[in-house]
Amino acid sequence: SFISLIFVFMFLFLNVFYLTQIKAIQTLSDVLSTKELGEITSKDLKVTKEEIIRQIKEKNSDLKDKNLQIVGEPTETKATVKSDDYTGQVNVTFTVKPKEVSKVELSTVLKTKELGEITSKDLKVTKEEIIRQIKEKNNDLKDKNLQIVGETTETKATVKSDDYTGQVNVTFTVKPKEVSKVELSTVLKTKELGEIKSKDLKVTKEEIIRQIKEKNNDLKDKNLQIVGETTETKATVKSDDYTGQVNVIFTVKQKEVSKVELSTVLKTKELGEIKSKDLKVTKEEIIRQIKEKNNDLKDKNLQIVGETTETKATVKSDDYTGQVNVIFTVKQKEVSKVELSTVLKTKELGEITSKDLKVTKEEIIRQIKEKNSDLKDKNLQIVGEPTETKATVKSDDFQDEVEVEFTFKKKS
């Protein structure tokens, strides 16, 4: 019947639709059969996701027109791939090989080798100035890294680049840069310098220049020179930074240096006890004591006049007028000595080899110093006569005595 035919037709349609759906949800691993992709050449040693997908499609032609995605970040040798057209994910492996970039000859790009005139501050052009001129004359090299090979001559240089093969010789001429200078007179406006105070009645060139800079603020950091000799009231000045020369005038006034009496500052003349290594005090020790007792003289230059006695000295100073007598007593410095045992720590000296049948005092002292490096430069003495295995040692530099032990071996 007609209804039966409709049921049969619907059954066949559903079967076809079902089979189509099964085909549509095929797993990716069934199609991506070549999982070892081999060598991938990449500009950098780290391969990109796009380069991996390109290699998968080359090795698996059924996936050429399919949408593939790399899951997460690939490692140096492995990646996981998926697709909206298939179920599941597949791991693929590969190795990375850097792409060889073929470089062209530098001479094919650096076409203008005659660079013309290079203006330079000095007559010797710098490497940077040559490179700048090359780039100006050869537009394709503007953003390239260029290097000058070796030293340049006055008219020639050799250039290379990491971006190209080979080297190229370039030629040029050097022209000094013209620095336009203004007239010194336009800056040095105050030419009447007024009164210059000088220690002597003849003013120095340095004092004149200092006064010029004080009166002309724009010249403070400039290099100025006095031309020839100055007179008592006039000088001629020039500068490397300006053109021309300028005459300046001034008057000289002697600096008044008023000195006070030394006795008004050196108030403590009884210096008390001066400790000295020897019983005769030195001039330096007296001056040190004067400064300790008279704080205002700490940074002053003091001198002892003539020879000192055991209790008296006469002192003067270039900073003051007059002289002052000072008195003092001398006490010998006590040098506190430490115990020898605190320095001679290794008392068991070990074996001493000797030419003689009995070890000598010198050999014992030598062994002590070898075993106790802090005593190397000290004066040591053996007390009395040593036995075959024992000796007593003392030193002028330390207190008390120390007993040391050793064994004796005859030198063969």
**269 plus 285 within the same structural domain:** yes
**66 plus 115 within the same structural domain:** no
For 192-220, how does the pLDDT look when each residue is reduced to its tens digit (9 = 90+)? 999 888 776 788 899 999 999 999 999 99
What pLDDT does residue 37 have? 92
What pLDDT does residue 19 have? 45
In percent, how much of the chain has pLDDT > 70?
91
**Which range in 33-47, 162-176, 243-257, 322-336 is most confidently predicted, on average pLDDT?**
162-176
Q: Which residues of 181-205 are buried (b: 16+ CB within 10 A; e: fewer)?
A: eeebeebbeeeebeebeeeeeebee
What pLDDT does residue 181 have? 83
Residue that the structure tokens 């002309």 belong to: 216
Cα distances (Å, whole numbers) of residue 132 to 122, 148, 156, 373: 16, 11, 15, 66
**188 plus 154 within the same structural domain:** no
* Amino acid (1-letter code) at residue 192: E
In a domain, 14, yes or no: no
Indicate whether 17 pLDDT > 60.
no
Please tell me the distance from the alpha carbon of residue 39 to that of residue 41, in angstroms, as a whole number.
6
**321 plus 299 within the same structural domain:** yes
Span 11-27, average pLDDT: 58
Span 268-274, average pLDDT: 91
Q: Which tokens sit at 360?
A: 């000598």
**347 plus 327 within the same structural domain:** no
In a domain, 325, yes or no: yes
**349 plus 397 within the same structural domain:** yes
What pLDDT does residue 158 have? 96
pLDDT tier at 18, thresholds 50, 70, 90: very low
**345 plus 405 within the same structural domain:** yes
Task: Collect all residues with Cβ–Cβ distance below 8 Å to 277 and sequence separation of at least 6.
Answer: 332, 333
**168 plus 211 within the same structural domain:** no
In a domain, 401, yes or no: yes
CB 213 within 8 A of CB 220: yes
Residue bearing the bigger pLDDT, 394 or 16: 394
Would the CA dihedral through 259, 263, 264, 267 be positive or negative? positive
In a domain, 2, yes or no: no
In a domain, 9, yes or no: no
Indicate whether 41 pLDDT > 90.
no
Please tell me the distance from the alpha carbon of residue 91 to that of residue 402, in angstroms, as a whole number.
83
**230 plus 190 within the same structural domain:** yes
Which domain range does residue 302 map to?
262-332
DSSP state of 76: S
Last residue within a domain, chosen from 98, 129, 153: 98
Report the mean per-residue pLDDT for the chain: 87
Pairing, β 390-395 against β 402-410: antiparallel
pLDDT tier at 22, thresholds 50, 70, 90: very low
Residue bearing the bigger pLDDT, 257 or 104: 104
In a domain, 21, yes or no: no
CB 398 within 8 A of CB 338: yes
In a domain, 127, yes or no: yes
In a domain, 349, yes or no: yes
How many helices, marked H, and strands, marked E, lie in the chain? 7, 20
pLDDT tier at 356, thresholds 50, 70, 90: confident
The pTM for the full model equals 0.30
Please tell me the distance from the alpha carbon of residue 28 to that of residue 296, in angstroms, as a whole number.
98
What pLDDT does residue 166 have? 94
What pLDDT does residue 305 have? 93
What pLDDT does residue 1 have? 60
Q: Which tokens sit at 36?
A: 């070892």
Last residue within a domain, chosen from 81, 98, 115: 98
Domains: count for the chain: 5
Residue that the structure tokens 């400064």 belong to: 291
**227 plus 273 within the same structural domain:** no
Span 130-159, average pLDDT: 92
For 281-332, how does the pLDDT look when each residue is reduced to its tens digit (9 = 90+)? 889 989 999 999 999 999 899 999 999 988 899 999 988 999 999 999 888 7
For 100-140, how does the pLDDT look when each residue is reduced to its tens digit (9 = 90+)? 767 889 999 999 999 998 887 767 888 999 999 999 999 98
What pLDDT does residue 339 have? 92
Compute the half-sphere exposure of residue 39: CA atoms within 13 Å on the CB side of its CA. Answer: 4
Indicate whether 11 pLDDT > 70.
no
Span 168-179, average pLDDT: 85
What pLDDT does residue 347 have? 93
Residue that the structure tokens 């310098």 belong to: 193
**379 plus 350 within the same structural domain:** yes
Span 225-238, average pLDDT: 92
- Range name among 73-87, 175-189, 295-309 with the lowest pLDDT average: 175-189
Residue 2's H or E segment, with its range, is: helix 2-24
**71 plus 112 within the same structural domain:** no
What pLDDT does residue 97 have? 86
Last residue within a domain, chosen from 206, 228, 254: 254
Q: Which tokens sit at 165?
A: 């093969």
CB 382 within 8 A of CB 365: yes
